[in-house]
Amino acid sequence: MNRGKVVSFRGSVIDVQFSQQLPKLYSQLRAGEDGRVVIEVVEQRDAETVRGIALTPVAGLARGSPAIATNQPLQVPVGQRLLGRVLNVFGETVDRKEPIVGGEWRSLHRAPVPLSQRSTLSEVLETGIKAIDLLAPLERGGKAGLFGGAGVGKTVLIAETIHNMASGYEGIGIFCGIGERNREAEELYREMQAAGVLDNTIMVFGQMDEPPGARFRVGHAALTMAEYFRDDAKRDVLLLIDNIFRFIQAGQEVSGLMGRLPSRVGYQPTLLTDLAEFEERISSTATGAITSIQAVYVPADDFTDPAAVQTFGHLSSSIVLSRKRASEGFYPAVDLLRSSSKMLTPTVVGNRHYQIAREVRRTLATYEQLKDIIAMLGIEELSQSDRQMVDRARKLERFLTQPFFSTEQFTGKSGKLVSLEATISGCESILNDEFVRFSERSLYMIGAIDEAGVQGA
């Protein structure tokens, strides 16, 4: 066995000296008397010394401690056996159930699919959620950013998307928690279990109290599991990441500990490369696709921050959740004017979808401008055409609400999965004043437009 010894360490950065063969980059070392400290080699310092990042706590480690080169990269298990399980960056179970042993294990470090093998078609992935499918459609094999604070329904939206993916597409949901708080992870697990979506989901966590190396690599672990289902099982995968900014932060911590010269605003000089290596593995092929929804935190609401700028460059859709809409009872609390998608063009979604989405957005924007006048003078002071516009906008707002399967036990309303065609037809009917005699209440929390009962007339 190739044995070495620890010669220095600073935080999670450890230098190990080997008298024999030098370990390869990204290979795994085991340090300490019992080999419990896992180190990933990230730099070869000289002919005898490598520098690595510890992925486990280094308490008890000292200079002169033994280290063993495993000559293997970090690996995680893959396959159907992972469904319903909760894992860490090493593929170890953390749900107090039997451990996963044997079977196929794959390296965390895999090359993205070559351009020649990628799907060149721009396809829309229907979620069954009206507000998203109409105004911010997701790209199959693309990346969507989910912007929202605490308490606006982000977790509910994630659970519902996984449910619809599993039932409508027979796909797999993988939730990756990067820098998650223990409380958030435990609550999400219970909510997914109660909603009945856990059996089609894999959960991978690099929690907030873990070393930055583990938080930096947990996203790659989830991607490796997702790639198995796309490439080997030929299934679509929905990869949910919370939070992509914490992935960048973990890389920043690692870079600082390694003594690299910081870039703008203190970020690591390899920010662009680190993020691109991660995001480029999310793609679609002829047999399957990995579609990702990523929670994005914008530091101090500064959209010129390097982390935000680099992340936005990879996204094809932006879904903004509004606390104001949540307080008004509009669920899902998607901000209908601020949410957008690069897929919303006539060549991709078709001219009918594009024109109706534009008209819906124009109607809602006009209503937003008229709200101050209505608040000061009353709706009676508006012109007849403006009053009609307000009526359409209020009905559209209510029609784009929807009962979720994941909240049935709380609301008492059965969940609805609405097709894109039904959503477009419903909005078209409202814009054409076909429901002018119906009350707004009859359109609230329904599925397709034909569920608006005549009792609302």
- Mean pLDDT, range 286-307, rounded to an integer: 84
- Mean pLDDT, range 335-354, rounded to an integer: 94
Query: What integer pLDDT is reported at residue 226 of this predicted model?
Result: 95
Query: What integer pLDDT is reported at residue 169 of this predicted model?
Result: 66
pLDDT beyond 70 at 456: no
pLDDT beyond 50 at 455: no
Rounded-to-integer distance, Cα 427 and Cα 321, Å: 21
How far is CA 442 from its chain centroid? 33
Query: Comparing 164 with 84, which gets the higher pLDDT?
Result: 84
Query: What integer pLDDT is reported at residue 92 of this predicted model?
Result: 93
Query: What integer pLDDT is reported at residue 156 of this predicted model?
Result: 83
Q: Known catalytic residues?
A: 154, 180-181
Query: What integer pLDDT is reported at residue 93 of this predicted model?
Result: 93
Virtual torsion, Cα 436, 442, 445, 449, nearest 10 deg: -50
- Mean pLDDT, range 232-239, rounded to an integer: 90
- Amino acid at site 29: L
Tokens 């709706």 correspond to what residue?
A: 379
Percentage of the chain beyond pLDDT 90 is: 59
Rounded-to-integer distance, Cα 192 and Cα 156, Å: 9
- Mean pLDDT, range 162-170, rounded to an integer: 73
Spatial contact of 37 and 53, defined as CB atoms under 8 Å apart: no
Other CB atoms closer than 10 Å to residue 367's CB: what's the count? 20
- The average confidence (pLDDT) of the chain is 89
Query: What integer pLDDT is reported at residue 389 of this predicted model?
Result: 93
